[in-house]
Chains A and B, each alone.
Chain A
Amino acid sequence: MADEKTFRVGFIVLGLFLLALGTFLMSHDRPQVYGTFYAMGSVMVIGGVIWSMCQCYPKITFVPADSDFQGILSPKALGLLENGLATEKKRSRAPAPHAPYVRLFEEAAYDQSLPDFSHIQMKVMGYSEDPRPLLGPQLGQLSLGSSDGGEGSPQDIQAWTEAAVVVHRGSDENEGERDPTQSRPGPPTCPQGPAPLASFQEDLDMGSSEDSSPNPSPPDREEPRPPTQEPKAYWCQLDRYSDFALIDAPTAEDVPCGGQQQEMALPHNWQRSPGTEEEEEEALDTGAEEPEEEEEDLYYGLPDSPGDPFPDKHTGLSPAVLG
C-alpha cells in the first residue's frame, strides 16, 4: 500500500521533528520539557524504523506465466471495437500504476472489486474432503444468468485460458494490447463443473477443475455491487495468479476449499511444505533481497536472483522447476 509507506515515512519524520524541536526548547531550568520532546521523538523514530524494517522481508511471490502459453491462445479478433477503442485504451491506461505486478495485499482496486473473502472460513482440508459443499453458497450467489452466457462453455474456456495466460504481463499497457478480454472476468457462470475445466486442464496442464468454478462467483458478485472505480483487470489477474499457484499442487485434486483461489493457493503452498518453510524463507532472504521493493509478489518458493521479477519466464512452467 503506497499509503502505508507514506505513513511510515511520516512517522519517522515527525519523530525527527520532535527531536529538533526539543533541541530548540532546551532550557536548563525546565528539563522536563525537552525531556518529553526527546522521549517522544526518539520513541517515534525508533518505532518507525522498526516498522519499516519489518516490511523488508521477502514475500511470497507467484511465478509469472510463461510465454509459451501465448502460443496456445488464439488471438482474439478485436473486431470493430479495437479501432474505435484503441484511443480509449491509451487514455484509460494512462493512470495505470507503474508496478509491474499487482500487489496482492495492498491493491486498492483489488479490495474494491473483490467481494470480501475474509469472512469465508477457509479451512485447510485434507485431500479427501470434498470441497463441493462449500461451493454451494457461492454458486447460489452466482447470478446464473445463463441467458447471458450465450457464448457457451467453449467460449468460457477460451476466456478462461486467455485470462489465465496474460498474467505475467503485469502492466496494463501490455495486457491491453494483447488481450482484449482480459478485463472481463469471464462469462457469468460455468454451470457444468468439471467438464469445461477438464479442457482447461489439458490445455494448460495445470490446476484443478474446481479452480475455475469459483471464478465466476466474484465477477457475478461484482455486479450487484456498487461500481468500482478501478478496472477489473487487477481482479482478473489475481484470479490467474491463483490458477498458477495450483500448478504446483502436488495432487491435482487437492483443491482445498471453496471460496477463493487465493486463499486456497497459499495455504496450499503452506500446507505443502510446512517443514521447509524456514528453508524457503532463508532462501528467499538470500535470494530475493529487495528491501525497497514495495511489491508483494507472491513468490513461489524458488530463490531467484534479486531484481529478476520474472524468474521463470524463459524456463517454462513446469512443476518440477517450480517445486
Chain B
Amino acid sequence: MEELVGLREGSSGNPVTLQELWGPCPRIRRGIRGGLEWLKQKLFSVGEDWYFLMTLGVLMALISYAMNFIVERVVQAHNWLYREIGDSHLLRYLSWTVYPVALVSFSSGFSQSITPFSGGSGIPELKVILSGIVLEDYLDIKNFGAKVVGLCCTLAAGSTIFLGKVGPFVHLAVMIAAYLGRVRTATIGESGNKSKQNEMLVAGAAVGVSTVFAAPFSGVLFSIEVMSSHFSVWDYWRGFFAATCGAFTFRLLSVFNSEEETITCLFKTDFPVDIPYDLPEIFFFVALGAICGILSCAYLFCQRTYLGFLKTNRFFSKLLATSKPLYSALAAVILASITYPPGVGRFLASRLSMGEHLRSLFDNTSWALMTRNSSPPWPKELNPQNLWVEWYHPQFTIFGTLAFFLVMKFWMLVLATTIPIPAGYFLPIFIWGAAVGRLLGEALSVAFPEGLVAGGVINPIVPGAYALAGAAAFSGAVTHTISTALLVFELTGQIVHGLPVLMAVLAANAIAQSCQPSFYDGTIIIKKLPYLPWIRGRKISSHRVIVEHFMNCTITTLAKDMPLEEAVKVVTSTDMAEYPLVETKESQILVGTVRRAHLVQAFKAEPPSSTPGHQRCVQDVLAGGCPTEPVTLQLSPETSLHQAHNLFELLNLQSLFVTSQGRAVGFVSWAEMEKAISSLTNPPPPK
C-alpha cells in the first residue's frame, strides 16, 4: 500500500508515513511500530506462511470444538425436556417435533436472510473456486456468521434431520483462509499474489475436513480428491501442516475439557487385533463393496432426480423461491414425525444421535448371536454402555430394524438434502453405509456362527468390521473418493482391517464412477455452476478434436489503425470485457489485449477532434495512456482438445486467444471448452 511520506523539518533519515507525523503520541507509535517491525523480521525469517497456516488450523479447531460444545449442550437440554415433559402423548410428540422444526426453519431463515450462499454444502462451489473461476462474494467474511449459526442449528436438530457438518465447515475454513490471506498480504506488504492466495484456500479446505473428524491424513486426501483436479506437492506440505495443527488442537481441547484422558480417536472400538478376519472373508468384503457401489448409484440417481424435480415443479420451485423456511419446516415436520420414538422411530433407533449411531454400529459384538436366545428389554432411557439395544426389536429382530432403517433413511436423506440449510452430507451417508455393512455382517455371523474357517480355532465374524467397510465403501462411492478408507481408520484407530476395507472401497468406486457423477459433481450439474468437466474415457475419439472445431470464431478485434469513431462504435456495440488488439486491419496480427474499462476511459478523455486534418486512431488513444496487456499464452487451431483442457486446468485459465501464424482467428473460453466436452460425451443426435 502506498502511503504518503514526509519528513519532519530538519530531521534526516527515511521519510516516514504521514500518519506517524500527524497522529497522536507519535513517539509511542513509532516505538510500537519499530517493535512490530523487529518482531516481524525475527519471526518471518522462516517464511511467514507457516504462522498463518498454524493460526488457520488452531482457529478452525477452536471453532469446531466450540460448535460441538454448543450443540451438545442444546441437545442435552432438549433431551431433558423430552424426559421431563411427562407421559402425555401429545406433549411428547410436540416436544419431539417442534424442536427440530424450530431449529431448521430458524437456520434456514437466518442464513438465507444474510446471504443466499449460505445454504447447502458449499463444497461444489469451493470446487469451482479452487479451479480458478471466481464466484464473487462466496468467500466474503460476512457469510461466516450466518453459516456458523445455521450449521449449529442444523447439528442441534441431530439425527432427526440426519445431516452432518463437513461441507459447511470446509466452507468456513476456506473463508477464514481467505481472510487470513488478506491479513498476510497486509502484514507482508506485498500486493496480492494470486497463487499464494490459492495456496491458502487449498490449505483451508484441507483443514476443514480434518478438524471435523480430527483426522489429518484423510482430511488432506479427501480435500484433494474432492476439490482439486490438479494438486501440487507444494500445497501438500501446507495442507498437512495446517491440518495437523487443527487436528491436534481439536483433540487437545477435549483433554482440556476433561472429556478424555489423552488424545485418542473419536470412536473407540474393540475389534480383535490378532486375527481380525479370516481369509475368505475378503471375498465378502469385496462383495460388500460392490453392493455399496450399486446402492450409491441408486442414491445418487434418486437425489439428483428429486433435486431436479424440485427445481422444475412449479409448486415447489415457487415455494422454495418465496419461502424457504416454510419448506424447511414442512420437511422437518415429516422427518420428525417419522422418527418419533414411541411411534415408527422405535424401529429406526431414532433416539441415537449421529455419533451414537456410529458408536453402536461399530460395536464389536454380534447382535444376532447375542439376541438369538435372550431378548433384552427396551430401556426407558438411553443406556450409553449398551447402545446397540436400541436396534433390537422383539418381533423384527435386528435384521428387520436395520433393513427398515436403510429403507426409510434412504428417502428421508434425499428429502433432507434438499432443505436449504447449511448442512454437510457426508456423515449421513457414512452412517448409512455402516448400517449396510452391519446388516451384511450380522447375516454372515448368523450364517457362519463359528467363523468361516472350520475346525480348530474359532474366529467369529465381527460385524463391526463389516460396518467399517460398508461406511467407507458407500461414502467413497457417493463422493468418488478413496480416502474414506483412511478416514475410517483414523476415526476408529483400527488399521488392521486396512486391506479388505480398501478393496471394498475400490470395488464400490469402480461401479459408482462408471455409472453416475459424484455427489458434488451432481450438485454442480444441477446448479449449473461454471466448472470444466473432465474428459471421460479415451475411446470416444477425443484425441482427434482440435481447437479449430470448437473455437469461437466471431471475435471483435480492434486494429491499431482503426479510426476512432469506428473503434467507439465497436466498443459500444459489443459487450466484451477484453478486446484483442491487432496490428492492422488487414494483417490481424495479435499484439495484445486491452480492457474495456481502460478503453472507455481513454475514449472519454479524448478531446473532440479539433484539428480536422489529423484523424485520430486507436493507436493514438493507446499511446495517450491506455494500458494494454501482452498476450502471453495462445492456442493454435491445431491444438488438441486434451492439450487445451490441460492448459485450462493447470493454469486456472478463463480464456485464451487462438492465433494462426500470428493472426487472431478465434477465442476459446471455458464455455466453449465445456460445450465441446459435453458434445463429445453426449453427441447431439444427427439431424
Residue among B10, B18, B598, B611 facing the most chain A CB atoms (10 A cut-off)? B18
Which A residues touch B598, using CB under 8 A?
227
- Distance of A22 from chain B, by nearest CB (Å): 10
Task: Report B546-593 residues with CB < 8 Å from chain A CB.
Answer: 565, 568-569, 571-572
The complex places the Cα of A299 from the Cα of B7 at a distance, in Å, of 19
Query: Which listed residue, B3, B256, B565, B595, touches A105 by the CB 8 Å rule?
Result: B3
Q: Is the C-beta of B614 less than 8 angstroms from some C-beta in chain A?
A: yes
Contacts A24-B69, A227-B595, A267-B7; is A180 near B604 (CB within 8 Å)? yes
Q: Mark A18-46, 1 if CB is under 8 A from B, else 0.
A: 10110011010110010000000000000
Contacts A180-B605, A223-B627; is A54 near B597 (CB within 8 Å)? no
Q: Is the C-beta of B387 less than 8 angstroms from some C-beta in chain A?
A: no
Residue among B2, B23, B602, B620 facing the most chain A CB atoms (10 A cut-off)? B2
Q: Is the C-beta of B628 less than 8 angstroms from some C-beta in chain A?
A: yes
Question: What 20 additional pairs, Cβ within 8 angstroms, besides A20-B66, A184-B625, A281-B24?
Answer: A25-B253, A59-B22, A60-B22, A79-B606, A80-B565, A84-B571, A85-B604, A89-B604, A105-B17, A106-B1, A111-B2, A122-B5, A124-B9, A150-B611, A223-B627, A227-B598, A231-B597, A262-B4, A266-B6, A267-B8
The 4 A-B pairs with the shortest beta carbon distances in the complex, nearest first, are: A184-B605, A227-B627, A79-B608, A111-B2
Task: Report B243-292 residues with CB < 8 Å from chain A CB.
Answer: 253, 256-258
The complex places the Cα of A149 from the Cα of B150 at a distance, in Å, of 61
Task: Report B50-78 residues with CB < 8 Å from chain A CB.
Answer: 59, 62, 65-66, 69
Contact: A270 with B604, CB < 8 Å?
Answer: no
- Distance of A48 from chain B, by nearest CB (Å): 13
- Distance of A276 from chain B, by nearest CB (Å): 13
Size of the A side of the interface (Cβ < 8 Å), in residues, is 79
Contact: B628 with A227, CB < 8 Å?
Answer: yes
- Name B residues whose Cβ lies closer than 8 Å to a Cβ of A: 1-10, 14-15, 17-19, 21-24, 29, 59, 62, 65-66, 69, 141, 179, 182-183, 186, 191, 253, 256-258, 565, 568-569, 571-572, 595, 597-598, 600-609, 611, 614, 620, 623-625, 627-629
Contact: A6 with B141, CB < 8 Å?
Answer: yes
Residue among B186, B191, B256 facing the most chain A CB atoms (10 A cut-off)? B256
The complex places the Cα of A131 from the Cα of B254 at a distance, in Å, of 68
Contact: A118 with B604, CB < 8 Å?
Answer: no
The complex places the Cα of A58 from the Cα of B554 at a distance, in Å, of 55
Which B residues touch A271, using CB under 8 A?
9
Q: Mark A135-166, 1 if CB is under 8 A from B, else 0.
A: 00000000001001011000100000000000
Which B residues touch A121, using CB under 8 A?
14-15
Q: Is the C-beta of A263 less than 8 angstroms from some C-beta in chain B?
A: yes
Which B residues touch A263, using CB under 8 A?
4-6, 15
**What is the total of A-B residue contacts with beta carbons within 8 Å?**
178
The complex places the Cα of A248 from the Cα of B252 at a distance, in Å, of 63
Contact: A183 with B605, CB < 8 Å?
Answer: yes
Contact: A57 with B5, CB < 8 Å?
Answer: no
Which B residues touch A123, using CB under 8 A?
7
- Distance of B523 from chain A, by nearest CB (Å): 30
Which B residues touch A89, using CB under 8 A?
600, 604
Q: Is the C-beta of A313 less than 8 angstroms from some C-beta in chain B?
A: no
- What would 24 A/B residue contacts be, using CB atoms closer than 8 Å? A3-B186, A17-B66, A20-B66, A21-B65, A29-B258, A30-B256, A60-B22, A79-B606, A80-B568, A84-B568, A84-B571, A85-B568, A104-B4, A124-B9, A148-B624, A181-B604, A181-B605, A181-B607, A183-B604, A225-B627, A263-B5, A266-B21, A267-B21, A281-B22
Q: Is the C-beta of A228 less than 8 angstroms from some C-beta in chain B?
A: yes
- Distance of A115 from chain B, by nearest CB (Å): 9
Which B residues touch A59, using CB under 8 A?
22
Which B residues touch A118, using CB under 8 A?
2-3, 5, 15
Which A residues touch B9, using CB under 8 A?
124, 267, 270-271, 274
- Distance of B397 from chain A, by nearest CB (Å): 43
The complex places the Cα of A104 from the Cα of B6 at a distance, in Å, of 14
Contact: A270 with B8, CB < 8 Å?
Answer: yes
Q: Is the C-beta of A72 less than 8 angstroms from some C-beta in chain B?
A: no
Contacts A54-B24, A145-B623, A267-B6; is A155 near B62 (CB within 8 Å)? no
Which A residues touch B628, using CB under 8 A?
227
Contact: A25 with B256, CB < 8 Å?
Answer: yes
The complex places the Cα of A78 from the Cα of B608 at a distance, in Å, of 7
Tell me the nearest residue of chain A to B616, going by C-beta. A150
Q: Is the C-beta of A81 less than 8 angstroms from some C-beta in chain B?
A: yes
